[in-house]
Amino acid sequence: MAATTNVVSVNGGATQSRASSPAVQEMQEKLELVEEMTRNVGAVQERVLAEILGRNAESDYLAKFGLAGGAAAGRAAFRAKVPMVTYEDLKPYIMRIANGDRSPVLSGSGNPASEFFFSSGTSGGEPKLFPTVKDEFDRRRLLHSIIMAVINQFVPGNGEGIGLQFLFVRSETKTPSGLPSRTIQTSYYKSDHFKNDAYHSGTSPMAAILCPDVFQSMYAQMVCGLCRRHDVVRVGTAFASGLVRAIQFLKQHWEQLTADIEAGELSPTSVSDPSGVLQGCLGRYRHTRRPNAKLLDTIATGSMTQYVPALNYYSGGLPIASTKYVSTECFMGVNLHPMSDPSQVSYTIMPNMAYFEFLPMDAAVVELADVEAGREYEVVVTTYTGLSRYRVGDVLRVTGFHNSAPQFRFVGRRNVLLSIDADKTDEAELQRSVERASTLLRRHGGAVLDYTSQACTKSVPGHYVLYRELKDTQGALAQGLDGDVLDMCCVYRVLRVDGLIGPLEIRVVRSGTFEELADYAASHGGASIGQ
């Protein structure tokens, strides 16, 4: 009889007995780690802060605030002496590193900056740069191994199958220091960590992922995924918007894709150099088993919730697993209930990833162990890479606890607002208004495919401008966007009555506009295809 081992459930359910194997043992270890890290959050956070201060003790930044002693200074001294900061406060230090200063500016000499990650946020019109260190991807890989263990509890067979994950790199530059500057995804996909990451074991060969031409990369990854569709158990991208783009790509190019698969070779109009890209994928297309996909693996929380209806429609209702909560600054948490509806997703902060503090809207900052259920906080991080008490800008709501670790729901980004007068229309409010408009349009067969907005103050009073791309079937636009619909969907209506805000302006753009803008931004270094 084969030996058995108990697999710990992080969700309080009955444990499962499975045949012992290295893979099962590793999964059990990761689930046990979750339990260990979340039982005594305060103690874990104290240890993490001591490690961070110890390794960065000699940095110029900590010395400025009298913390040259590092870990010996202690948590109380750190919180009392080091202020909370924004990017603009740290920018002079970051630019010193970018310009070639080899002294320990933010991190210690034993962990110097190895490269820069840039985020989708900007400072003075330029992407924000964040220095990182070599061992930061060790934490990312650990997080991915935890995610795989958690998903395997809910999705039988997930560990045996592979993923069709659309992954893309984008152009990178070098700072004057000689260190590369690139997105965190680009860096990771080019690293040895990625090659050994079981979470990203999938249909896409490295040559396709690393292809800088977005069209050719997408085409090659799509062909390989379709050829191996019988092996695929999860389909995904980093963000839901990227998965919708992949679906649109399939709709536009399915005839050429199927022709290439039938022919067993790629058309030169699709991929200029197929050598090394397909890795034998085309030889597998004659399998007759039905597709076996069990879930969509993509972040569909926050502003990405607008893409959930499209994903539900095209996937036939497959579960959408928003598995992790990460930022350019650091890796933060995991979703221990990955099969939950995107609107109900909460992330459990992993206290071994960084030192976390939380700033309420109306009170003093508190530590991770001291947050209260139902309250909203802005997250503040102190990282192994040298960021100290940095305000990330994400606003989170505490929804509960796993052991002593808080679970948070993403609310939105701080200061992402439309504002004309005393109004404060944030990202969530705008999203709700668009959802209401979509509901009304669907009655006529239409839908809002994508949107953006701006506050226009060229006229007095100022007004909101919404740019919308619509799916319009059988005159839905003419029937759906009448005055009554606009009055019902616009959250600005109260101040409109008082004459403090001008009439809402809705501009309907032609089909494909947002995709063209995304392509333009990606080709000019402003964003990755998945953002």
Flag whether 86 is in a domain. yes
> How far is Cα 26 from Cα 4, in angstroms, rounded to an integer?
14
Q: Do 167 and 268 belong together in one domain?
A: yes
Q: Do 31 and 48 belong together in one domain?
A: no
* Boundary residue ending a domain (259, 287, 315): 287
Q: Do 183 and 279 belong together in one domain?
A: yes
Q: Average of pLDDT values for 182-211?
A: 87
Other beta carbons less than 10 A from residue 134's beta carbon: 12
**CATH number assigned to the domain comprising residue 444:** 3.30.300
pTM: 0.78
Flag whether 431 is in a domain. yes
pLDDT band at residue 518 under the 50/70/90 scheme: confident
DSSP string of 205-256? Answer: -HHHHT-S-HHHHHHHHHHHHHHTTTTEEEEEEEEHHHHHHHHHHHHHHHHH
> How far is Cα 94 from Cα 72, in angstroms, rounded to an integer?
26
Structural domain boundaries, residue 488: 417-523
Flag whether 448 is in a domain. yes
CA-closest candidate to residue 193, choices 117, 139, 152: 139
Task: Dig out the tokens for 6 from the structure.
Answer: 């108990």
- Residue 81 predicted with pLDDT over 90: yes
Instruction: Give the total residue count for the chain.
Output: 531
Q: Do 112 and 181 belong together in one domain?
A: no
* Boundary residue ending a domain (104, 132, 160): 132
pLDDT at 365: 95
DSSP state of 204: -
Q: Which position has the higher pLDDT, 463 or 484?
A: 463
Q: Do 112 and 151 belong together in one domain?
A: no
> Chain-centre distance of CA 331, in angstroms?
10
CA dihedral sign, ordered 60, 62, 67, 71: negative
Q: Do 115 and 207 belong together in one domain?
A: no
> How far is Cα 432 from Cα 437, in angstroms, rounded to an integer?
9
Q: Average of pLDDT values for 236-262?
A: 89
- Residue 111 predicted with pLDDT over 70: yes
Q: Do 164 and 263 belong together in one domain?
A: yes
Quote the crossing angle between the two packed helices 41-55 and 74-81, to the nearest 10°: 70
Task: Dig out the tokens for 174 from the structure.
Answer: 């070098």
> How far is Cα 88 from Cα 90, in angstroms, rounded to an integer?
5
Flag whether 181 is in a domain. yes
CA dihedral sign, ordered 246, 250, 252, 257: positive
Ordered strands of the 115-123 beta sheet: 126-132, 115-123, 180-182, 173-174
Q: Average of pLDDT values for 274-291?
A: 51
CA dihedral 469, 474, 477, 481 (to 10 degrees): -140
Q: Do 232 and 117 belong together in one domain?
A: no
> How far is Cα 450 from Cα 471, in angstroms, rounded to an integer?
10
pLDDT at 432: 76
Flag whether 506 is in a domain. yes
- In total, how many domains does the chain have? 4
Q: Is 498 within 8 Å of 529 (Cβ atoms)?
A: no
Percent helix, strand and coil across the chain, each rounded to 5? 40, 25, 40
Flag whether 327 is in a domain. no
pLDDT at 500: 53
- Residue 263 predicted with pLDDT over 70: yes
Helices (H), 319-453: 427-442
Q: Average of pLDDT values for 397-426?
A: 79
Flag whether 366 is in a domain. no
Residue 376 has phi, psi (to 5 degrees) of: -110, 140
Q: Which position has the higher pLDDT, 275 or 462?
A: 462
- H or E segment to which residue 295 belongs: strand 295-299
CA-closest candidate to residue 388, choices 35, 23, 73, 15: 73
Q: Do 157 and 70 belong together in one domain?
A: no
Q: Do 183 and 121 belong together in one domain?
A: no
pLDDT band at residue 489 under the 50/70/90 scheme: very low
Checking phi first, is residue 276 left (phi over 0); if not, alpha (psi -120 to 50) or beta? left
Q: Is 183 within 8 Å of 117 (Cβ atoms)?
A: yes
Q: Do 154 and 278 belong together in one domain?
A: yes
Residue 237 has phi, psi (to 5 degrees) of: -145, 175
pLDDT band at residue 262 under the 50/70/90 scheme: confident
Task: Dig out the tokens for 12 from the structure.
Answer: 């309080």
DSSP string of 408-422? Answer: EEEEEETT-EE-SSS
pLDDT at 488: 42
Q: Average of pLDDT values for 501-526?
A: 78
Flag whether 387 is in a domain. no
pLDDT at 71: 59
- Residues in CB range of 389: below 8 A, 6 or more apart: 79, 82, 83, 84, 85, 357, 380, 381, 382
Quote the crossing angle between the two packed helices 513-523 and 240-263, to the nearest 10°: 90
Determine the number of helices (DSSP H) and then strands (DSSP E) in the chain.
17, 23
> How far is Cα 315 from Cα 318, in angstroms, rounded to an integer?
6
* Boundary residue ending a domain (262, 287, 312): 287
> How far is Cα 199 from Cα 238, in angstroms, rounded to an integer?
12
What residues pair up with 453 in beta bridges, in sequence order? Answer: 466
Q: Is 163 within 8 Å of 202 (Cβ atoms)?
A: yes
Q: Do 56 and 177 belong together in one domain?
A: no
CA-closest candidate to residue 286, choices 326, 230, 363, 361: 230
End-to-end, the C-alpha distance of the chain in Å comes to: 51
